Amino acid sequence: MALKSTKRTFKTTIKNLDPVIEDFRTHFEDKGYKVTTEETADGAFLSLTNANLFKTVSGLKTGLNISLSLYDDSLEARMDVGIFGKQAVPGLIAMLVFWPILVTQIIGLVQQNKLDTETYDVIEKSLEEHQPKLEEYEEYCPYCGEGVEKGVKFCPHCGQTINPEVTCPDCGAQVKEGTKFCPNCGHKF
């Protein structure tokens, strides 16, 4: 059950969220938070809890849930302050009675600790750090989209063969796979 929801969109051309998720995990685990991650069809789902910050309320815990949705030119981060737990029915009954106090306290805890702002800042910094720079790379891996140095045969990110070459049967020249004619002798492939 979400108590507060915010959304922020970041302009990016990053194709792989793994380094962003790892930066997020490292940052918050170093601060004593429990971070869980789950891959989704369009990105990732991150959950952030801390026993010292988030109090247990009738068997329910509160925490931050962050959904990351990756698009061609952007990343949408949606953050919910929510409740979850094994004793949901008794907890929800308690919330019905005490909801004005509980909601205010939970949202106040998150805002007081500036956790929502910090979460977005960590994501933004990681995206900037891992954003492929056009001037840095002349080529991109056709499989994972990460920038690679010109002339490499294998992608250092996903291991796929980049620009595989074939040998011309007439002159022996190395030609990129998919070439229709040998640039050395004109042989048709």
Domain count, the chain: 2
pTM for the model: 0.55
Which of 107-116, 126-135, 153-162 is modeled with the greatest confidence? 153-162
Location of structure tokens 């070459």: 165
Whole-angstrom Cα distance, residue 173 to residue 183?
9
Give the model confidence (pLDDT) of 49-73 as tens digits: 765 544 444 444 556 789 999 998 8
Closest of 62, 69, 2 to residue 33, by C-alpha = 62
**Per-residue model confidence (pLDDT) at position 138:** 67
Which of 20-29, 100-109, 120-129, 140-149 is the least confident region?
100-109
Which long-range contacts (C-beta less than 8 Å, at least 24 apart) are formed by 141-148?
Answer: 144/15, 144/16, 145/13, 145/15, 145/16, 146/15, 146/16
**Domain CATH for 26:** 3.30.310
Residues 26 and 80 in one domain: yes
Question: Are the CB atoms for 145 and 15 separated by under 8 Å?
Answer: yes
Residues 103 and 164 in one domain: no
Residues 7 and 57 in one domain: yes
Whole-angstrom Cα distance, residue 12 to residue 112?
30
Give the model confidence (pLDDT) of 126-157 as tens digits: 998 888 665 555 677 877 777 788 777 888 88
Residues 77 and 35 in one domain: yes
Residues 85 and 150 in one domain: no
pLDDT band at 19 (very low <50, low <70, confident <90, very high): very high
User: What is the residue type of 37?
Assistant: T
Indicate whether 27 pLDDT > 50. yes
Residues 44 and 66 in one domain: yes
Question: Are the CB atoms for 157 and 145 separated by under 8 Å?
Answer: no
Residues 99 and 177 in one domain: no
**Per-residue model confidence (pLDDT) at position 113:** 52
Q: Which residues constitute the domain of residue 179?
A: 136-189
Whole-angstrom Cα distance, residue 174 to residue 48?
52
